[in-house]
Amino acid sequence: MGGAIARGIAHSTGYVLTVSSPNRHGELDSLKSQFPLINVSTRNVDAALGADIIIIAVKPWLIDTVMEELKGAIDPSRQMLASVVAGIDLDHLAGYAAADAHFAVFRIIPNIAIAYGQSMTFISAKNASESQINAVSGIFATMGKVQVVEERLMGAGTALASCGIAYAMRYVRAAMEGGIELGFPASQSLEIVLQTLVGAVAMLEGSGDHPEAAIDRVTTAGGITIRGLNAMESHGFTAAVIEGLRASK
């Protein structure tokens, strides 16, 4: 996810970006070759010194080690800390500052489409002013859509948008396989399914309709669409989607 965020920022913003990793030299070289204006370093302290916003994107069990390394390089009164580390809450992040320091911290959950500028990103904050929230939200808004939510909704956001990418892919695969069974070659079937989804999104965004209202517009009494919808529901389509979301929260 760290690499995806770095690529998204490099594609979409004019920010000066420094990416660090002590171990992933190959990925740093790849980023530098793709985006020559990105600064790269194998020392995390180099990325933190002088930064306005420090984004931590590591495995959960590494965050305390990384933050211990950065302790002397961070100025909680001036800098903001943003974490995309799963399961690390705002209180934990705020705890990296001295007890008397006012440290603006953010939990951020993007999805992998951020590398293509189409993420659905959720942000929650602690000790942050409105201008700081706007600054962090503004960065991620250049790479898709952003919702600032209460921290209690971060798990639900992960299920709906981050895990949801995989669920959407599974629908695409299923519809593609159905198209093949109906007689289309695989590549043509995939193109049809993808364009159909693009059209569905455009309709909903353009009209502002509830999805069920949009369905009504393409469903006629006794027609083939309602037969297909009823067949899907008889096999648990809606229930399966909701149960999948509940399971991944």
Contact call for residues 196 and 186 (beta carbons, < 8 A): no
Q: Which domain holds residue 203?
A: 158-248
Residue 162 sits in the same domain as residue 121: no
Residue 6: band (very low, low, confident or very high) from pLDDT cuts 50, 70, 90? confident
* Tens digit of each residue's pLDDT (9 = 90 or more) over 44-85: 898 888 889 999 999 899 999 999 988 888 888 889 999 999
Residue 117 sits in the same domain as residue 171: no
- 96: Cβ contacts below 8 Å, ≥ 6 apart: 67, 71, 74, 76, 81, 103, 105
Give dist(CA 63, CA 81) in Å, integer. Answer: 12
Give dist(CA 76, CA 99) in Å, integer. Answer: 11
Residue 100: band (very low, low, confident or very high) from pLDDT cuts 50, 70, 90? low
Residue 77 sits in the same domain as residue 128: yes
pTM: 0.88
Q: Is the pLDDT of residue 166 over 90?
A: yes
Q: Choose one of 149, 179, 204: the last residue of a domain.
A: 149
Q: Using alpha carbons only, what angle is made at residue 29 by residues 73 and 31, rounded to the nearest 5 degrees?
A: 80
Residue 17 sits in the same domain as residue 127: yes
Residue 20 sits in the same domain as residue 95: yes
Give the per-residue pLDDT at 228. Answer: 95
Single-letter residue type at 133: I
Q: Is the pLDDT of residue 162 over 70?
A: yes
Residue 137 sits in the same domain as residue 183: no
Residue 218 sits in the same domain as residue 124: no
Domain of 136, CATH number, reads 3.40.50.720
Q: What is the mean pLDDT of residues 183-189?
A: 97
* Nearest one of 22, 107, 102, 105 to 60, comparing CA atoms: 107
Q: Choose one of 125, 149, 173: the last residue of a domain.
A: 149
Domain of 207, CATH number, reads 1.10.3730.10
* Tens digit of each residue's pLDDT (9 = 90 or more) over 23-48: 777 778 887 888 777 888 888 898 88
Helix (H, G, I), strand (E, B) or coil at 14: coil
Exposure class string for 205-239: b at 16+ Cβ within 10 A, else e = eeeeeeeeeeeeeeeeeeeeeeeeeeeeeeeeeee
Residue 217 sits in the same domain as residue 125: no
| Tokens encoding 132 | 């700081």
Give the per-residue pLDDT at 99. Answer: 63
* Nearest one of 153, 83, 168 to 118, comparing CA atoms: 168
Give dist(CA 47, CA 118) in Å, integer. Answer: 26
Residue 118 sits in the same domain as residue 201: no
Residue 58 sits in the same domain as residue 179: no
What domain count does the chain have?
2
Quote the mean pLDDT of the chain: 90
Distance of CA 122 to the CA centre of its chain: 7
Residue 62 sits in the same domain as residue 166: no
Work out the percent of the chain whose per-residue pLDDT is above 70. Answer: 98
* Tens digit of each residue's pLDDT (9 = 90 or more) over 115-143: 788 999 999 999 999 999 999 999 999 89
